[in-house]
Structure formats: structure tokens, C-alpha cells
Structure 1
């Protein structure tokens, strides 16, 4: 069984591949491919895989663009960060959609469905895009924080960046106020708008307005200076540089 993985986030791709290996030890896995362009090239140059697992949001656009330019005969399991209601609606189209982070049991059920049906997928691109637009995730508009014995509401639009320190997570506002919040950075990534905030590394998620300077650094990395932040060692890894630049371009 040949499986193609299309996923632009290296940790997510690694997790999907490891889960597939556990479920299907004899499967031959291709990828991960991390862009629309590379995926189109691969599909034009190789025999159709038995199954495709594809993220919806890639660094250079939505993966639906791939299927507009290549005739796909392989069944597809999409992965997505969209909410559970959209996932249920998409399943009516006889293609499986898994909510990220991928649950091993959900992936096992999706593969079982593929093995039972084992038939080409039919994709109504216009229907999918319409549903995507109507079911887009609603991101947090405010965070409740405790100040002494009082509870304050901090609008997300007023937050400069999120950061972790001493096993806790904090927000810093544009007015330089700092508050402790009951979230991990990993959890926050799915709760805040990715068009406004970017996960720089394991310690920082920053808004575009918070970025003061971007400096080229050794090993093809970038060094980021954030406004009103004393940390001088905020680095964007080489693997995330391309995605970061695309985010900056909007």
C-alpha cells in the first residue's frame, strides 16, 4: 500500500507518518510534501498512490488548489484545524476529515473506512470551499486574567505577544502589561488567529505589530527582536523561515 502525506508542518507530518507506520507497518509512505507546487510536481511524476493524507492549509495556499490542477483518483483523508461541526459536515461527502492534532483512533477509523470502501474519491471543490467559508473557526476575542482578587478582560487585539517562562504562560499587551494565563502555547495556537499571530519558536507567539527587527542569523535562521521584550535570543528555525516569510507577506 502506497500512501502520500502532504503536510507543511514538520512535527505534524512526523506524527502522522509515525501513526501510519503503527497502523500499517507494511505501507510505503511518500513525503511529506509541504507545498502545493511540490505536491503537483510529485503527482504529475509518480503513479497515483493508494491513499493521500493532506492538510488543508499549506504554506502556499489551500490544498484544494492541487486537486484543481491534477486529476486525483486516490481516496483522500484531509486533516484540518477547523471545528468539529465542519468536520461532521464534510464527512457527508464520503471523504474523511480529521481534526488536528490527529487522534490515533480517528485515523484508524478513517483508514478502516478506506479499506472497506477502497474506491476513488469524488471531490466537489466548490462545495468544500463554500463550506470552509461558512464554517471557519471563531478565534478568541479576549482572555480573562486575574489581577490580585479581581478578574480583568484583555482583548486579543491588545496583545503584543504570548510567551512561556518557568513552566507558565504569559501575555504581554501593547501597553507593556504582563498577565499569567491558563493556557499552553500549543493550545493557544488553535485559539488565536494565525493571520495575526505566529509561533516563532517553542517560547514565543507574536503578533505582527510586536516585531521590531528581523535579522539574518547563522544556519539560515532568523533572529527576532520584539518590542518591549528583553529576550535577545528569539530565533526562528531554518525549517520555519519560509512559512514565517509567507506570513509576513500576508
Structure 2
């Protein structure tokens, strides 16, 4: 069970996040706070595993709270201002959510919190990073791109393009999930990948997700129009909301008609 605290000076924002978190059986909300001082006292007394933290509060900023914490809970920043993204990752925040929160994006955050609780580590992007992505063809051959070349913080990762299963937006960064391998956080916006990746099989189904339909192993349609995507390997199934699920269904049906 993950014990979490919600910190936001807007009660409607806390209510909305609390409602979204109710669907996760392993999440327990142990406290809520509307200010830095209130959150500091509650965190010291309750020692939550994670804090969903707004940046701009009535008596300071979320970063002030992080600096004052005696324990070391996982931090997930929740804000309407993406200009704080780099600073959030500089202090090793587990994730950075933009308001209004997408349910499918929150599902990725919860999975990262679970991994964090199991002792998993993650790379922390620095302000000076100069990442890039290129699609390469095999030497001496023409035709469609065969490989993806990620240049990440001075290092290169080259993998067959078909192994890219999922890409998720994280503020100014994109996390690239390779099937049968690890995931990589690249200092590039998701739209940079969208402009280069071939469609099909890569389809952007929401503002935060690009899916490789060729790697999609199973789709479980759920109530209220949502669905869960299974991509196999070590990639955790992703739950997407009603609008993204409708786009995915339309794309699958369209591809099925073309193939007939």
C-alpha cells in the first residue's frame, strides 16, 4: 500500500485528484494540506510514501516544502505551469503532472511510484542536456527507416525501430519504452517524435501517448469508455481515458478495413 498526501491550496483540485486516485486499490490518501506549513507538519507526523505537490501555494512554493522535509517521500509535482519541469527533475521528482490531469497519464505516474517504492532508480535530466533522435536506414539500403538513434546526455542508444512500443510525454521530456529492454528519458517533446515516426504503425492517441500498434498485444475495453493496453515484455499495461480509447478504436477499425 502506498500512503500518499495531497498538497494543493485549491480544494477543488484536491477533490479532483482524490477522485482519480480512488480507482487504485493500493493507494491510501493519509492527509491533505493547502499550504507549505500545514504540509510540513503533516509530513513530519505521518511520513507518507509520496506527496502529490502543487508548485504555487499560498505561503510559498512546493520546492520550499521539499527543502524542509525531514523524511524523503517520493515527490510528484502537479501544476498548471510547465516552466517548473526542469527544476522538478533537478531535485529528482518521480514525476511531473500538468493540470488538468489525464487519467491515462496518472496511471503512468502511479506505476512509477510503485517502482520507486520497490527501490527502482531513474535518470535525472540536467538543464544542460542536448538530447536528440534520428531514424536511420540500414547502411547501403533505402526504403523506410529501420532503426531509432537516441542521443541522450552524450550517449547513444540504437535500437530497431520495431522495438519502440510506447512513448509518453513528461513535460519537456519523452520517455521511450523499448520492448524487451529498458526505457529512456529523452529531452525532446513528444511532438518531435511524432513528426519523425511513421504512421502507421505509430499513432498519437492522446496529448501524452504515442503507441506502436504493431506491438499492441491486447486491448481490454472497460466501463465508461476506457481501456487498458498491454504491450508485452516488461512494459506495464497502460490505462487510457475515454477520448483516447475512442481514437484507438477508430484507428484499429480503420486499419482492419484497409487490410481486408
For normalisation by structure 1, the TM-score amounts to: 0.43
For normalisation by structure 2, the TM-score amounts to: 0.41
